[in-house]
A and B are shown apart, each in its own frame.
Chain A
Amino acid sequence: WILAWMGLEINTMAIIPLMAQQHHPRATEATTKYFLTQATAAAMILFASTMNAWTMGDWNINQISHPLATTTVTLALALKIGLAPMHFWLPEVLQGLSLTTGLVLSTWQKLAPFALILQISQNTNPALLTTLGVMSALVGGWGGLNQTQLRKLLAYSSIAHLGWMIIILQFMPALTLLNLTIYITMTSTMFLSLKIMASTKINSLALAWPKTPTLTTLIMLSLLSLGGLPPLTGFMPKWLILQELTKQDLPITATIMAMSALLSLFFYLR
């Protein structure tokens, strides 16, 4: 756990100068908010692991078994990746960054916390994971409505997708990994396309059709894929997750997740 904590801290420290590169107060604000949230989460992880080592005498990542330690580390990792209800920092931070840095934040910065989440998945409280997952999917759908800033829209999309990943973690971690991989691919496509078009607002996308029709079509397909519309790739993880949830006798949870996906699809289609 100590080495994992060190890795997370180095990861945070490494991206801080990249975020503050722009020399604008909003970039500095985003960097400060990011640093504070990540440092808090890392401190919570260290606290939980130390508590587990003190009570159970074990420092192994996948041997964390004390209930309080497990809950604390789950919440800390949720804060790290921006799961609801610890999601409030993500839209503001992404809004203050350039598209390239936003891409790194949405994709690469999720890998390390997810590596830890996957390792502790068997010991985490199932009710907590379900709550975090459902809340994230709902908050991601509700918050993304009426967003006109594309970076904030992608932030809420990230929160919703993280909800889908977390909810299936306790039943089939392989699906979480699959969902993460596909999400990273789709989000990278979106960010890079927006970077090429140099657009950060929804109205500049509306004017893009005559200028770059191919790229506009690609963006449209990526958005529909993010929304989980068949027959695009983004539909596959959602379908498999819903199937697994139904197999685990959780039809209500599956219904709520499907409804929240509709909310997300609504703002993607707009």
Chain B
Amino acid sequence: MALTSARLLTRTVHEKWICAHSLTLRPLVCINKAAFYGEYRRPGQAQDRTPPWKKIRFSFAKGVQGIRKHFGLLKDEAMERWVGPQGRPLIEHMLEQTRVQWEFRGPESLEQWLVSTDREIGGRSEAYLKLGRNDSACMLYGTLCSTPPRDGETCYSGYCTLRSRQLLSSFDRKKNIDWSSFNTLYIRLRGDGRPWMINIAAETYFSHQKDDLYNYFLYTRGGPYWQDVKIPFSKFFLSSRGRIQDNQHPLWLDKVSTIGFTLGDKADGPFQLEIDFIAVCNDRAHTEEFAYEMYKRNPEV
């Protein structure tokens, strides 16, 4: 009896200690990743508190396949170094004035792209990506619906976006695209007259820059004829989480991550965009470095 009482007392003291220290210990023990990385959760959706070790699905065959793939990529990268930058001879790099970065010529080209809409936040827009006629272009089509979801939080809705996947090298390291030899984006597309926005994401370092995008408008002409769009990189302006920033700076082209096309013109209805290729070129006549805020604030008189 005395022993049972002592055990109960110890347990009670222990529980009290845990309760008293839980507020201080919890941040040290369980770091709230959502707070750090700004995870989006639908209203009413509970936070995913599954520990990472429970999410592992171990498969020996997949592991072996992964090892082969990554070591193969590593070997290719080592061999490429002897050829030249990005595996091409240096003379090619120095003489090139245009480069087709993405072209849609087969089903495997669609795997490099991600389509998303406001369905992720409860909206009703739809978007699909398929190859065009003769496998010669991609077609992004769907329906835009700007009715906001009735979740008590979201005020605006009605967007769809097509974004390229982040390129990965061996062992899933990020690989960036070097466009520093070029100064103009060249896209061949056929739209439906709606205004789109082109978003370029560059490599960032700080966590508050993770939503930084460089944007420019893309006004499409509807009609049967293809449209050649040339946008100098100096025209791209900086935005973060969709908001244009006061402090602007030019896009540095040596570490580009992804490119995307967004439609959010608040016009409900079907849309369609065909893209033949996305290229970059060097327009020697274009000497502008940056189109915004290059004037001197508080100039000396």
Q: Is the pair A25, B81 in contact by a Cβ cutoff of 8 Å?
A: no
Q: Is the pair B90, A146 in contact by a Cβ cutoff of 8 Å?
A: yes
Task: Tell whether A32 is near chain B: CB-to-CB under 8 Å.
Answer: yes
Of chain A, the residue at the smallest CB distance from B238 is: A25
A148 partner, pick from B81, B178, B249, beta carbons under 8 A: B178
A24 partner, pick from B82, B212, B249, B254, beta carbons under 8 A: B249
0/1 per residue, A194-230, Cβ < 8 Å to B? 0000001111001000000000000000000000000
Q: Is the pair B81, A145 in contact by a Cβ cutoff of 8 Å?
A: yes
Q: Is the pair A26, B252 in contact by a Cβ cutoff of 8 Å?
A: yes
Task: Tell whether B222 is near chain A: CB-to-CB under 8 Å.
Answer: no
Q: Is the pair A25, B94 in contact by a Cβ cutoff of 8 Å?
A: no
Assembly CA distance A32 to B86 (angstroms): 28
- Report if A201-B181 is in contact (Cβ < 8 Å); known contacts: A26-B252, A148-B93: yes
- Report if A148-B85 is in contact (Cβ < 8 Å); known contacts: A23-B249, A95-B254, A201-B181: yes
A25 partner, pick from B86, B181, B205, beta carbons under 8 A: B205
- Report if A149-B254 is in contact (Cβ < 8 Å); known contacts: A32-B205, A201-B180, A203-B93: yes
Of chain A, the residue at the smallest CB distance from B282 is: A203
Assembly CA distance A172 to B94 (angstroms): 42
Task: Tell whether B247 is near chain A: CB-to-CB under 8 Å.
Answer: yes
0/1 per residue, B107-122, Cβ < 8 Å to A? 0000000000000000
Task: Tell whether B204 is near chain A: CB-to-CB under 8 Å.
Answer: yes
User: Shortest beta-carbon distance, B301 to chain A, in Å?
Assistant: 23
Q: Is the pair A25, B249 in contact by a Cβ cutoff of 8 Å?
A: yes
Contacts of A29 in B (CB 8 A): 205-206
User: Shortest beta-carbon distance, B298 to chain A, in Å?
Assistant: 15
Q: Is the pair B90, A149 in contact by a Cβ cutoff of 8 Å?
A: no
Task: Tell whether B12 is near chain A: CB-to-CB under 8 Å.
Answer: no
Task: Tell whether A247 is near chain B: CB-to-CB under 8 Å.
Answer: no
Task: Tell whether B84 is near chain A: CB-to-CB under 8 Å.
Answer: yes
User: Shortest beta-carbon distance, B9 to chain A, in Å?
Assistant: 47
Contacts of A95 in B (CB 8 A): 254
User: Shortest beta-carbon distance, B120 to chain A, in Å?
Assistant: 27
B180 partner, pick from A145, A146, A148, beta carbons under 8 A: A148
Assembly CA distance A148 to B94 (angstroms): 9
- Report if A203-B94 is in contact (Cβ < 8 Å); known contacts: A146-B84, A146-B85: yes
Chain B interface mostly helix, strand, loop or mixed? Answer: loop
Contacts of B94 in A (CB 8 A): 202-203, 206
Contacts of B82 in A (CB 8 A): 145
User: Shortest beta-carbon distance, A196 to chain B, in Å?
Assistant: 18
Task: Tell whether B209 is near chain A: CB-to-CB under 8 Å.
Answer: yes
Q: Is the pair A25, B204 in contact by a Cβ cutoff of 8 Å?
A: yes
Q: Is the pair B252, A24 in contact by a Cβ cutoff of 8 Å?
A: yes
0/1 per residue, B227-243, Cβ < 8 Å to A? 00000000000000000
Assembly CA distance A142 to B254 (angstroms): 20
Assembly CA distance A145 to B81 (angstroms): 7
A23 partner, pick from B204, B212, B247, B252, beta carbons under 8 A: B247
Of chain A, the residue at the smallest CB distance from B180 is: A201
8 Å CB interface, B21-38 against A: none
User: Shortest beta-carbon distance, B240 to chain A, in Å?
Assistant: 11
- Report if A149-B180 is in contact (Cβ < 8 Å); known contacts: A25-B205, A26-B252, A203-B94: yes
8 Å CB interface, B180-216 against A: 180-181, 204-206, 209, 212
Contacts of A142 in B (CB 8 A): 81
8 Å CB interface, A243-270 against B: 270
0/1 per residue, A49-93, Cβ < 8 Å to B? 000000000000000000000000000000000000000000000
Of chain A, the residue at the smallest CB distance from B209 is: A25
Of chain B, the residue at the smallest CB distance from A22 is: B249
8 Å CB interface, A11-43 against B: 23-26, 28-29, 32-33
Of chain B, the residue at the smallest CB distance from A25 is: B209
A95-B254, A149-B180 provided; 6 other pairs, C-beta below 8 A?
Answer: A24-B249, A25-B206, A32-B205, A148-B85, A148-B180, A200-B180
Q: Which 6 A-B pairs have the closest CB atoms?
A: A29-B205, A146-B85, A203-B94, A24-B249, A206-B94, A148-B85
- By a beta-carbon cutoff of 8 Å, the part of chain B in contact with chain A is 81-82, 84-86, 90, 93-94, 178, 180-181, 204-206, 209, 212, 247, 249-250, 252, 254
